[in-house]
Amino acid sequence: MNASPTTPTKKNSMLGVGAAALVGSALEWYDFYLYGTAAALVFNRIIFVNSDPVVATLAAFATFAVGYLIRPLGGLIFGRMGDTLGRKRVLVLTLLIMGVATFLMGLTPSYEQIGIWAPIMLIVLRLVQGIGAGAEFGGAAIFSVEHADPRRRGLHGAWPSAGVYLGLLMASGVFAVVTQLPEDQFLAWGWRIPFLLSAVVVIVALIIRLRLAESPAFVAMQAEEHAPVSPVKTVFAQEKTGMLTLFLAQLPQNVVSSINLAFITAYLVGNLQLSASVGPVATTIGTAVTMVLLPAFGALSDRIGRRPVILFGIVFSGIFAFPYFWLIGGGEAPALVVMAIVLSLGLGVGAMFGPQAAYFAELFTGGARFTGLAFSRELAGAVSAGTTPLIAVALVAATGGATWAVSLFIVAACVVGAIAVFFGGETRGRRMSATTVADLKASTGSFER
């Protein structure tokens, strides 16, 4: 970072911006998905030790939720920094925080080795990881959208979303390999490998991000002295509608994603007694399909609007909530498990998530965009994404192993999200440099920078 954020020495190519967003988001969700998978397969056996496997699993998923509960604080802290000091600086800082925390997780001793300090250590690292991740996607989304041609924001904004699923793909792929080890070796040291490999992703992402100049929208805002003195005060006082729309619109994607990426692995192993590799393998295929579809849905939102694409994903997810578990059934056919996850992630989450970066960025004015987007999105994550696996495990236990209550939970989230998106209005083509909410809304469809 040799150049000042207000005087960049070069313009970034969209290839460089896309790579920075893709790799950074990949690290964020590589880290977070590693923890979700390890919570289902490892931590409930060697860190959170309890004679009742349900209680142990609930404890492991409780710390999964802790990582989400702390993320709004990270979104608020780093969001404010992103609106005042620059997008690039925050993206570099959050990358380092997440990467170091994840690497250290791979070195955490077991409960048998150090007793109660094992879960304490893991919880602390999870908190640090969550704070860093609180602004990662928001920063990458804003960085991509503010660089993009106004008519292609959906497509270019999809790269951070694709990065999320690249991270999930890498994590599920590595776990699919290490779960092939004999169980004693997997529990002793094999599970640590995916966490330690995060160091490689950090190095690659850091090299890419350090070579980039600051966002042109932020530079222009600083030059014209339009940046608010207090982005936090501005967004809470003047942009509450955008925050509420984002919060509610995010709920169905969080719920459906967490069911597929965290809960389903524990359900397949704990309730259906399937091999520990079935969940990671099915998720690997589902994430690969979704990663390809995300830019397609983002590009589609550039043509027909953000709202219809996102609404399709929400409605599909609500309708598919019961057929999803019917396909999984008793786990007799792994191919049907794969099909259920591919459809749920690829069509449901893909349509909701593909246009998300552009849609959410267009909800806020330039001076409070990072704060509003990062905090609102991570608050939704704390309420829904982090708690969904915990709620789903509890619902299945309360209904004697049935899944109908989980399906109803998904439907409820989709109804709330659909209402928010429908009444939230269309955002495609809004001016990124708008400094007031009135100007922002008036610029809808103008396709000005």
- In tens, the pLDDT along 383-414 reads 998 789 889 999 999 999 999 999 999 999 99
Tally Cβ neighbours within 10 Å of residue 333: 12
Cα–Cα distance for residue pair 363/77, rounded to 1 Å: 20
Instruction: Report the pLDDT averaged over residues 151-162.
Output: 93
5 pLDDT above the threshold of 60: no
Q: How many helices, marked H, and strands, marked E, lie in the chain?
A: 25, 0
Instruction: Report the pLDDT averaged over residues 377-381.
Output: 92
Q: Which two structure tokens, joined as six digits, stand for 206?
A: 């850091």
Q: What is the pLDDT of residues 66-114, one digit of tens each?
A: 777 888 999 999 998 888 888 888 888 888 888 889 899 999 998 888 8
- For residue 111, the one-letter residue type is Y
Instruction: Report the pLDDT averaged over residues 422-439.
Output: 92
| 55 band by pLDDT with thresholds 50, 70 and 90 | low
| 225 band by pLDDT with thresholds 50, 70 and 90 | low
| 227 band by pLDDT with thresholds 50, 70 and 90 | low
Which pTM value belongs to this model?
A: 0.85
Least trusted range by pLDDT, from 90-94, 100-104, 329-333, 438-442? 329-333
What is the predicted pLDDT for the residue at 2? 40
Cα–Cα distance for residue pair 241/381, rounded to 1 Å: 18
Instruction: Report the pLDDT averaged over residues 196-218.
Output: 82
What is the predicted pLDDT for the residue at 48? 76
What is the predicted pLDDT for the residue at 3? 40
As to burial, measured by CB atoms within 10 angstroms (0-12 exposed, 13-18 middle, 19+ buried), residue 383 is middle
Residue 423: partners with Cβ closer than 8 Å, 6 or more residues away: none
What is the predicted pLDDT for the residue at 410? 98
Q: Which residue has the tokens 């794969």?
A: 338
344 pLDDT above the threshold of 90: yes
Helix axes 87-105, 136-147, angle to 10 degrees: 140
Q: What is the pLDDT of residues 253-308, one digit of tens each?
A: 999 999 998 788 888 888 888 877 788 788 889 988 999 999 999 999 999 999 99
More confident residue, 44 or 52: 44
Instruction: Report the pLDDT averaged over residues 404-427.
Output: 97
Q: Which domains does the chain have, with CATH numbers?
A: 14-213+227-442 (1.20.1250.20)
Instruction: Report the pLDDT averaged over residues 151-157.
Output: 94
What is the predicted pLDDT for the residue at 7? 40
Instruction: Report the pLDDT averaged over residues 61-69.
Output: 74
What is the predicted pLDDT for the residue at 9? 41
What is the predicted pLDDT for the residue at 8? 41
DSSP string, 127-160: HHHHHHHTTHHHHHHHHHHHHS-GGGHHHHHHHH
Least trusted range by pLDDT, from 113-117, 188-192, 251-255? 113-117
Average pLDDT, the chain: 86
More confident residue, 431 or 32: 431
| 56 band by pLDDT with thresholds 50, 70 and 90 | low
226 pLDDT above the threshold of 80: no
- CA angle, corner 59, sides to 55 and 63, nearest 5? 165
What is the predicted pLDDT for the residue at 219? 77
269, 41 Cβ separation under 8 angstroms: yes
More confident residue, 226 or 269: 269
